[in-house]
Amino acid sequence: MTYNTPAVYNGFTFDNIRFEFKDEKIIKTAANNSEKLNDIFNTDDGATYIGEFGGGEIYFDDILIRKDGVFIIPELYCLNPENLA
């Protein structure tokens, strides 16, 4: 997975973020500061698994697009787990 926009975490801006996955786990990261990014994922044993991102709500331009790991707007239904194979 590669981010196409910067991401801010704890006041630091990460650019060119890239994750490589295997068996639903992040096995490799890259960014403008990979060491700082890896520190985030080393906080606990589960932090490198996809499930860590599954809950809550995601808003884009003040519109709820994802809730509890499921995209809820019709344009993004195809990205829900049951539609990916």
Whether the predicted pLDDT of 56 surpasses 80: no
pLDDT-based confidence at residue 36 (cuts at 50, 70, 90) = very high
Cβ distance 57 to 67 under 8 Å? yes
Whether the predicted pLDDT of 84 surpasses 90: no
Q: What is the count of structural domains for the chain?
A: 2
47 in the same domain as 59 = no
Strand-by-strand arrangement of the 57-60 sheet? 57-60, 63-67, 70-71
Full domain range(s) for residue 30: 1-53
pLDDT-based confidence at residue 55 (cuts at 50, 70, 90) = low
Q: Is 82 exposed, middle or buried (0-12, 13-18, 19+ CB in 10 A)?
A: exposed
68 in the same domain as 32 = no
63 in the same domain as 40 = no
Q: What's the mean pLDDT in 7-31?
A: 91
Structure tokens at 77: 């239904």
pTM over 0.75: no
Most distant pair of Cα atoms in the chain: their distance: 38
